[in-house]
Structure 1
Amino acid sequence: MKVIVSVFNNLYTDQRVEKVCASLAENGYEINLIGNSWGGLVKMERNYSFSRIILKSKILRYAYLEFQWKLYHDLLKKADKNSVLLSNDLDTLLPNYLISKKLGIPLVFDSHEIFTEMPSLNGRFTQKIWRKLEQSIVPKVRYMMTASESYADWFAKTYHIDRPVTVQNFPIKIDNPQQYSEINFPKIILYQGVINPSRGLDKIITAMSKIEDAELWIAGDGPKKNEFELLTKTLGLDDKVKFLGKLLPKDLREITKKADVGLSIEENNGLSYYYSMPNKVSDYIQARIPVIVSDFPEMRKVVDRFQAGEKIKEHTQLADKIKIVLQNGKSFYTYNLNKAAAELCWEREEPKLLQLFKKVTDENF
């Protein structure tokens, strides 16, 4: 059975799509992955077929339109009666839906987020366009999965559909990588991920003036990077805030395990963030790093259930909460982090993915 997977990115750092494709390939599915050149054509190798559509557009809204058109024609060439389409996020859904209807083949929709509730769209005209598309197609999609329990509840309630299957984007389980005899001085406070609006980064940079004997490492890139670098300079915190840039996944994992605490401190400027279970939280935990997270539903569950760090209701609490975790030390959380890492891993999520695709093939072929 052929599964044609499409996503709007250059494929290289999308760990969810990589894990999904690898799991399906290892279980007998023929994978054909389609991405694009947005973000650059980084050389990569996979044990399944992949291609990237070349985009000429330099502005994102035009790139979306160009990709939709080109993806439709690419799917039309590659799909046949023995294919399953796997659409990742709303920005690939329309061409996949049209091809699904045209050829009479099944479509699986994987919503990594609530696309229409992203902070970057709030209040903009483009939000209305994406909402119209979502409202038009999502209720007609027969097979759907998403990346958090709260997302699944939102889609079911909003569109009166069967609750999507939840396949959380947890990392592959690893043995505890920590060397607790290694003590950092200064301590390392880590943020990893995209440098976007509403990630709380301006708040933690400002808070660093109140935290002694520690550095903030920001691993990632994004549209707000220059603004936050300027903020750091303006506050005179160049010696305490380090911008590491965008790292290869294997290099990022080495950085993560060195940290003393990991941050996921998003602001409540959209339901997509509020209901998210960010990848970085489970990445920190798999590296056995205690966390400080916003008191949002999915992240709250992790801290409350496993006692793996601290929550903040307001960003004014950042400095105090960080001091608590740093004073406790990583080894204080070892037992709880080991327990969390054993459960928040891809090995626990993969069976749900495979069960969904078995249902798709049983019902359609």
Structure 2
Amino acid sequence: MMPSSEAAVSSDTKPPLLIISYSPIARDARVLRQIELFQGRYDLTTVGFGPAAPGVGQHHEIHVHVGLSRRIRGYAEAALLRLKLYRLMYWSDPLVRATRRALRLYRPERILANDIYTVPLALHLAPDTTHTDLHEYYPGLHDDSAQWRRLRQPYLTWLVEKYAPRAASATTVGEEIADRYHQHGVHAAVVVNAPERKGFTPGAVSSPIRLVHAGAALPTRKIEKMMRAVAESTADIELSVLLTPNTPAYVSKLEALALELGPRVRMIPPVAHENLLQTLNSFDVGIHVLPPTVTNQALALPNKFFDFVQARLGIIIGPTPGMARLINEHDLGTVTSGFEVEDIRATLDALTAARVSEWKRAADRASEVLSSATQLPVWAKAIDALSAPH
């Protein structure tokens, strides 16, 4: 969606824009929003994994060889990190080298660089006309691991502090993460992960009340705690869990747990991203109690929160500040007192159809302000401000 205050550039005079993301671009919801926003006003070139997304003029698919070379690279990285040879670590990275090869004949005038790993390369190619969009707080990505804190955290902090402040502008996904980046000298505006507003209406509350959790299967998220809380609750509820198979062994563990817990908890197959909101709309309450096992989870304001709003669901979350702030501001649902099974169960025990119905109506009222329509102008202003070098 293009902000109404900005006129689209005609197809004959569209300036070029390079979007780099080390992700499967055609399935990356945030990058897809960037592409949808800019395809009518810029001649788009993308670099990333997998096939091109619709609306892109040219796409460079990055391939990195695996096998023995990956093992050798692992040993090399361990040595480089221990010796703090961070510059060599970055520029010898196979991803960076593959990207440089893909763009060897391309001279970008302006770049939208997604996540910190693309920023040094983007600044090398377009030192004065790069915008960086930081999807995560990288120094807190896996800080539950002592080895990661010892080796990777200093490297990522170096990347952030050396390169991100040099970008012409920056954005990130939430106020809490923006505050953390400010401590590293990065002044980032906020574009939350909200989808386009959908025309759903709040459905009648089911009996039993139908809860849903949808997202990545990551062990740090402790999804089993929500499942156990539902199974132990005295409320008339059931839970469906839709997970992408990020960690197959963890999915298998949860499938076994669902069978053990009984019929009120079930695993159902994930759906394609374009069908997710329609699927969610058939439920009553979205639940996402995300324990702060790593800093990034403590700061989270994820896609699924806004997906729940657009699907017109009530929302139950843990006391994660970014999500709790919006829950309370818009009366969208409730916040558990903590992240443990007993905290979640206490909240579930108090569920009633009347409360859930109120939350669903509140989601409908908030669906415009918590949609991409209020967010995309931030990106539009930042990219439009990048003037091509002379």
Scaled by the length of structure 1, the TM-score of the pair is 0.86
Residue aligning to 2:237: 214
Q: Check conservation: 1:205, 1:232, Cα contact below 8 A.
A: no
Which of 19, 33, 45 is residue 5 of structure 1 equivalent to?
A: 19
Kept in 2, the 8 Å contact 1:121–1:127? The answer is no
Question: How far off is 1:223 after superposition?
Answer: 4.1
Query: Contact (CA 8 Å) 2:243, 2:251: kept in 1 or not?
Result: no
Match of 2:185 among 160, 163, 166: 160
Matched, 1:72 2:95: no
Distance 1:121 1:133 in 2: 20
Task: Please give the alpha-carbon distance, in whole angstroms, between the structure 1 residues aligned to 2:323 and 2:136.
Answer: 15
How many Å separate the matches in 1 of 2:198 and 2:301? Answer: 20
**Contact 2:231–2:265 (CA under 8 A) maintained in structure 1:** no
- 1:182-230 C-alpha deviation (Å, 9 max, x unpaired): x534432211111113323021122232135433222222444533532
Of stretches 50-59 and 9-18 in structure 1, the one that deviates more from structure 2 is 50-59
Q: What is the aligned partner in structure 2 of residue 130 from structure 1?
A: 156
Hey, what's the Cα distance between the residues in 2 that align with 1:174 and 1:216?
A: 24
SS state at 1:342 partner: coil
Equivalent in the alignment of 2:332: 308
C-alpha distance in 2, partners of 1:160/1:241? 46
1:295-314: per-residue Cα shift (whole Å, max 9, x none)?
Answer: 12211111111111011231
Shift of 1:20: 1.2
**Secondary structure in 2 matching 1:258:** coil
Q: Shift of the alpha carbon at 1:109? A: 0.6
Q: Distance in 2 between matches of 1:189 and 1:205?
A: 10
Residues 60, 102 of structure 2: 8 Å contact kept: no
Change over 3 Å in CA distance of 1:179–1:73 after alignment to 2: same
Residue 128 of structure 1 aligns to a residue whose secondary structure is helix
1:34 aligns with 2:47: yes
The answer for the alignment partner of 2:268 in structure 1 is 244
Question: Matched residues in 2 for 1:324 and 1:33: separation?
Answer: 48
Aligned mate of 1:46, from 54, 63, 77: 54
Paired residues in the alignment total 349
Q: Report the equivalent of 1:229.
A: 252
Residue identity over aligned pairs, in percent, reads 16
Opposite residue 185 of structure 2, the aligned amino acid is H
2:211 aligned residue: 189
Residue 140 of structure 2 corresponds to 117
Number of the residue aligned with 1:285: 309
- Once residues 364 and 165 of structure 1 are traced to their aligned partners in structure 2, the CA distance between those partners, rounded to angstroms, is 24
CA deviations on 1:331-358 (whole Å, 9 max, x unpaired) are: 2224321222121010011111111122
Deviations 1:217-257 (A, max 9, x none): 22222444533532552571253333334421122222211
Unaligned runs of 5+ in 1: none
Which of 351, 357, 360 pairs up with 2:386? 360
Question: What is the Cα deviation at residue 324 of structure 1?
Answer: 3.0
Q: Is the aligned partner of 1:202 residue 2:241?
A: no
Q: Distance in 2 between matches of 1:234 and 1:334?
A: 30
Q: Is residue 290–residue 325 contact of structure 1 (8 Å, CA) maintained in 2?
A: no
| 8 Å contact from structure 2 (residues 161, 185) kept in 1 | no
Match of 1:261 among 285, 300, 317: 285
Change (3 A) 1:33 1:121: farther
Task: Report the alpha carbon displacement of residue 277 of structure 1 after superposing the two structures with TM.
Answer: 1.1
Q: Secondary structure at the match of 1:343?
A: coil
Q: Provide the aligned C-alpha RMSD in A.
A: 2.6
Q: Cα gap change, 1:360/1:234 in structure 2, threshold over 3 Å: closer, same or farther? A: closer
Q: Is the 8 A contact 2:315 2:359 kept in 1?
A: no
Could you list the structure 1 runs, at least 4 aligned residues long, displaced by more than 6 angstroms after superposition.
58-64
Larger Rg, first or second structure (1 or 2): 2
2:363 matches 1:337? yes
**Could you say what secondary structure the match of 2:216 adopts?**
coil
Residue identity in the other structure for 1:237 = L
Give the Cα–Cα distance (whole angstroms) in 2 for the partners of residues 72 and 130 of structure 1.
21
Q: What amino acid is the match of 1:46?
A: P
